[in-house]
Structure 1
Amino acid sequence: MPISLTPNAITAIKAGDVNLKPLLQVLDIKLIGKSQERSKDRYRLLISDGISAQYAMLAVQLNDRVKSAQVEKGSIVQLIDYICSDVKGRNLIVVLNMETIVPHSETIGNPTMSADSDTKAQNPLSDLGSISPTNRFVFNEPSIQHFVNKAPSGGVNIQNPVNNTPTFRPSVQPSYQPPPSYRNHGPIMKNEAPARIIPIAALNPYQGRWAIKARVTAKGDIRRYNNAKGDGKVFSFDLLDSDGGEIRITCFNVVVDRFYDVIDVGKVYLISKGSLKPAQKNFNHLKNEWEIFLESTSTVELCPDEDGSIPRQQFSFRPISDIENAENNTILDIIGVVTSVNPSVPILRKNGMETHRRILNLKDESGKAVEVTLWGEFCNRDGRQLEELVESAFFPVLAIKAGKVSDFSGKSVGTISSTQLFINPDFPEAHILRNWFDHGGKDTASSSISRDNMPGGGSRNEIRKTVSQIKEEGLGRSDKPDWVTVKATISFIKTDSFCYTACPLMIGDKQCNKKVTQTGTNMWLCDRCNQESEECDYRYLLQVQIQDHTGLAWVTAFQESGEEIMGCPAKQLYSLKYELQNDEEFAEIVRNRLFHQYMLKLKIKEESYADEQRVKMTVVKVDMVNYISESKYLLNSLVRSL
């Protein structure tokens, strides 16, 4: 039986009918927004009801339908869920859900483009010249434009490019009549009907009125900032809906005053009238390409949690063994058993503010253990409870939501402002860990991926190499960096540019550290923060030559490793050379750091410089050689080789 498309469906959808569930044909599919992450590609469809054709955007959650060829040119589909938005005076259909009825079919009818489609589509030949089975010519070249003109009766005169004779093709007039124009007929009542609730995954910038119903899973503190526009404040909170979609909402200034006390973690809200902007992935770890900015007209309504369909939290747990190969600054979820907790110690930040740090150890069934660093309030609130449990010989299960990976001196995980800790949670993963630990896991040896040292010297995950082996084995040329330890002597330090002027401002819980330049008013301008500071910070950027018995190599040492090599802060050296101009003392400090043996932990990775690939070696840890431990290491190596 031939398939019949829903007549006049395009006109009805554009008039506001979102309950039609029409049968339509896909005439064309085009990738218009290609992203590095294929899951974020944007597809535009040309859909037809047999009479009219209209462009439509495909929601990203349906991309797999195109990539798996479930939907292709000629497919007959049924629109299940969709919206129609006005974008710059043109109607745009956004398809949120659909089903494929017939995988492929010949073109049905003789559709023409809707009048308010985009500029290219206003010429039916530019995209639809070949869709009619009666067409003999496929008009794809831009030069064909001069052959097209409007007929007086509403059809289209097409001048045949073969013999220059005009051919008249009448336009099919749909039976559906749009609502009459009310111009000059008095005021029109504004549509105040509530916006339709849609899934978070379906949000996109092409929508006009929308609403989402979701649970607050995390709420940040109010942060103050200062830029060229003056002082301000901001806070954010994260949402999770019943379909598993997550998104971050951010509020600024007066909107902070309006909503900060309204938002409670764990409660469900109905939120509408915000603006979507691309997510700032440097500060937003959620798997969503958008985030919402609330405005003065936005609404946030508390909803009763009647059916409990929205989960309280969503985790993507990774085993501790995965952290060993994770990139620095990766945000992830982990769960493990706490085996030890260190006391909380005060730490003075570089901005002069004091905070607290507490280190604990976590192990799981992967056979690995990792250090977890708690910062600030986490040390007191959760850290004290964990310490008391471990001291009472009860080793608790700890789930960490949004922990940050650090690769300084081995791999570890630290808390950030959006981190959440769950002690002995009622999760299936927690029950499995508890059972494993109580039935033998407690006595199972786990190798640490952090700074757990072996008795014979060196860390458990240490790989020793010579300078020549780094080059001969082609280290650093794979997708992931190589981490090795080299015993070498520092033979030369470049002193013409050993440090740079850095931004001292805080972004969240991190210092900016981007390079700043001095302005004519003796202020320091940061392009990243877009604001000026009276002072700047000085951070090491050392170029150091190292050598061992096999060869020479150049390495780069940044702030922490630079201080370990030079034995003093970068500001002190800068002051000696450029402010006090005491070249003799400056040269003496540099000479005293040469020709000593160090254990250098290196990160080796191939990077691109001016379209040229170079292997860069960065010093991440510096230690003086402990000759007792080194003798044991060499003896063990000799025994293993016999």
Structure 2
Amino acid sequence: MPVNLTPNAIATINGGDVNLKPLVQVLDIKQMGSAQERFRILVSDSVLTQHAMLGTQLNDRVKTGLVKKGSVIQLIDYICSEVQKRKIIVVLNLETIIPDCEIIGNPKMFPDATAHKTLPNTNSVQPAGVVGYNNLSSQSHGNNMSSIQPALSSQNHGGNVQSFRPTLSTLNQGSNMQSFRPALSAQTHGNDVQSFRPTVQPPYQPPPSYRNHGAVMKNEAPARIIPINALNPYQGRWAIKARVTAKGDLRRYNNARGDGKVFSFDLLDSDGGEIRVTCFNAVVDRFYDVIEVGRVYLISKGSLKPAQKNFNHLKNEWEIFLEATSTVDLCPEEDGSIPQQQFSFKPISEIETAENNSIFDIIGVVISVNPSVPILRKNGMETQRRILNLKDGSGRTVELTLWGDFCNKEGQKLQEMVDSGSFPVLAVKAGKVSDFNGKSLGTISSTQLFINPDIPEARDVKDWFDRGGHDVASVSISRDCVSGGPKNEIRKTVSQIKHAGLGRSDKPDWATVRASISFIKTDTFCYTACPLMIGDRQCNKKVTRSGNSRWQCDRCNQEFDECDYRYLLQVQIQDHTGLTWVTAFQESGEEILGCPAKELYLLKYELRDDTRFADIIRSRLFCQYLFRLKIKEEMYGDEQRVKITVIKADKVNYSSESRYMLDLISKVRRY
């Protein structure tokens, strides 16, 4: 069956027609891009060919063979953009008409409208007086030109006028050379010059200049709305309509170019495309208060740059940077075609083998929530931390660590729900994987939490939990032994720490031990610390009294009215195999004693309430914890000693621990 491609399709598209929907043939396909696959094709209308770029949403058409070399396709949705003074067709949607076909016609590349025009042939047209005027004899056909010479001035002394200079005019083929007119001036001295009429080259006339006598008409038509997945740097004017699904915090930075500020937000459109938008400095002032999570905006006039995958988890190779000329317009009417959020849920069991810092969407039932506790970050700033546990049908549970505002918003609501006896479903969008002491998830600035969301996945996991999933044994990937894993994920007993020689190597060893507290030293349970900041970190060095009411730091060489109080606990722990001493600093000390160090210090040394102080200490004795320990050999004077530091102390959840023990029993029986 003969195939008729759309006549003049390439020329029509380059002329700006985007409604033709032509039939064209694919002559070639090449894969481009490294961060994300992208395909460039060569299309033909049987007479002309033109390069085109496929939107990433069409990649599957190439991978599955629906679009290949020879395929006849219909361009449904497309634009034509100019890149580096060359035009390229960006294909947003297409249909395959004939998957495989012989090449039709003998097409040639479409001539670029901006290419240089062909210069006239100047081999036989050169200005008079140019030295080296060659090949003049080749221009004569039947003329007597044997003595024509291209000299600048030809002086003849008594000879026949056959030696003279030609002009710029084309050589008169087939005519007598006696009518050939020399240029400039020719001096003759007694020569027989028949029809020799000297001419003068006209003076140089510059080309006319045109002044702007009025306003230039600009293209004020609104930019065409395209899908996010079709965005690429080859487009000149574009606009996207999308919903804000996440908004990052306003952050300040300092580098070699000075101070600055930045924030980002994520967009989702009706086709499921996602992209991150970033604003810096003055642009932050324009748009930070304008952007609201959940609202739909029309955005245009931004620049596209490669996405920084270290900080951007979205599946898009580009990132939008808004500029001074960018526009962000709120859509007044709700667009129901754009979903509120897009998830890519994975079972908790997949986190067990995931790489550190990878991003996951998970959904599960909240089975426990710990209280929120203050944490001092490495930069000296204090924040809040709350840990909860999620369970799904994959046979695994995982710790989710909430940081900052998540602790007081969603975290507090979840704790109230669990304390009341209900087990809510929690959907986590963009949780960050951590492999410290096992695998866990943590919130980042772009994380979104949804409690009991109205989505099919939430209903499915809730039905599973209510029909018996609550009692199904699950293993925690956040604190249990992973076979063949690194040492920081291995459960040990107290005696095994010594017998395995942990801490004797150059690097510290890590272990998780279930043990109870048998003794706490109370004479030096905390120390007074410097609250001053050194750069972006708190000093935290020990301070001493200066007079009766002030404190002094020798490191900072300053005095101040108030100091900090930080835990330095010496704790003896024991299990069924033996006992050992461990050291607990600020965060782990609060987890063990359940109150800030300052409160306990004032109770003992200011209020001198020894009874209440003793009750707090006594209440922690013989309580079982899961201790995450760092074990490292250090030098004390002239002696090497193994120091064991408590990194984290969690009270044993007997329900989870029982499931862990049952799982170990089942593994033993299996082998």
Q: What TM-score does the superposition give when structure 2 sets the normalisation length?
A: 0.61
CA contact (8 A) 1:10 1:48 kept: yes
Distance of 1:194 and 1:311 partners within structure 2: 25
CA contact (8 A) 1:408 1:621 kept: no
Match of 1:604 in 2: none
Match of 2:21 in 1: 21
Match of 2:236 in 1: 208
Map 1:424-573 to 2 at 5 A. Answer: 424-451=452-479, 459=480, 461-463=481-483, 488-489=500-501, 493=505, 564-566=630-632
Match among 35, 40, 43 for residue 39 of structure 2: 43
CA contact (8 A) 2:438 2:488 kept: no
SS in 2 for 1:418: coil
Amino acid of the structure 2 residue aligned with 1:317: F
Gap change, CA 1:321 and 1:354, over 3 Å in 2? same
CA contact (8 A) 2:398 2:439 kept: yes
CA contact (8 A) 1:55 1:117 kept: no
SS in 2 for 1:389: helix
Map 1:59-98 to 2 at 5 A. Answer: 59-98=55-94
Q: 1:436: Cα distance to partner?
A: 2.6
What are structure 2's unaligned runs of at least 5 residues? Answer: 122-208, 508-533, 537-587, 589-626, 650-660
SS in 2 for 1:379: helix
Cα displacement string for residues 564-608 of structure 1 (whole angstroms, at most 9, x for unaligned residues): 33477xxxxxxxxxxxxxxxx67736x223xx9x99xxxxxxxxx
Which structure would you say has the larger Rg? 2
Do structure 1's residue 331 and structure 2's residue 380 form an aligned pair? no
Match of 2:250 in 1: 222
Gap change, CA 1:183 and 1:54, over 3 Å in 2? farther
Q: 1:433: Cα distance to partner?
A: 2.4
Q: 1:115: Cα distance to partner?
A: 2.4
CA contact (8 A) 1:213 1:270 kept: yes
Map 1:145-294 to 2 at 5 A. Answer: 188-294=216-322
Q: What TM-score does the superposition give when structure 1 sets the normalisation length?
A: 0.63
Amino acid of the structure 2 residue aligned with 1:62: L
Cα displacement string for residues 203-234 of structure 1 (whole angstroms, at most 9, x for unaligned residues): 11111111111111111111000111111001
Gap change, CA 1:117 and 1:565, over 3 Å in 2? farther
Gap change, CA 1:353 and 1:111, over 3 Å in 2? same
Cα displacement string for residues 331-370 of structure 1 (whole angstroms, at most 9, x for unaligned residues): 1111111111111111111111111111111112222211
CA contact (8 A) 2:504 2:633 kept: no
Gap change, CA 1:80 and 1:252, over 3 Å in 2? same
SS in 1 for 2:414: helix
Cα displacement string for residues 304-329 of structure 1 (whole angstroms, at most 9, x for unaligned residues): 34451111011111122222222211
Match among 401, 407, 416 for residue 379 of structure 1: 407
Gap change, CA 1:450 and 1:32, over 3 Å in 2? closer
Gap change, CA 1:636 and 1:397, over 3 Å in 2? closer
SS in 1 for 2:298: strand
Do structure 1's residue 108 and structure 2's residue 174 form an aligned pair? no
Match of 1:588 in 2: 638
Gap change, CA 1:18 and 1:588, over 3 Å in 2? farther
Do structure 1's residue 298 and structure 2's residue 315 form an aligned pair? no
Match of 2:48 in 1: 52
Across the two proteins, how many residue pairs are aligned to each other? 452
- Aligned Cα root-mean-square deviation (Å): 3.9
CA contact (8 A) 1:409 1:621 kept: no
Q: 1:393: Cα distance to partner?
A: 1.1
Match of 1:321 in 2: 349
Match of 1:414 in 2: 442
Match of 1:129 in 2: none
Gap change, CA 1:372 and 1:462, over 3 Å in 2? same
Gap change, CA 1:69 and 1:641, over 3 Å in 2? closer
Cα displacement string for residues 105-142 of structure 1 (whole angstroms, at most 9, x for unaligned residues): 333233222222999xx99xxxxxxxxxxxxxxxxxxx
Q: 1:261: Cα distance to partner?
A: 0.8
CA contact (8 A) 1:198 1:210 kept: yes
SS in 2 for 1:10: helix
SS in 1 for 2:354: coil
What are structure 1's unaligned runs of at least 5 residues? Answer: 124-148, 153-181, 452-458, 466-474, 496-503, 507-559, 569-584, 600-619, 623-631
Distance of 2:628 and 2:219 partners within structure 1: 64
Q: 1:410: Cα distance to partner?
A: 1.4
Gap change, CA 1:482 and 1:60, over 3 Å in 2? farther
CA contact (8 A) 1:53 1:114 kept: yes
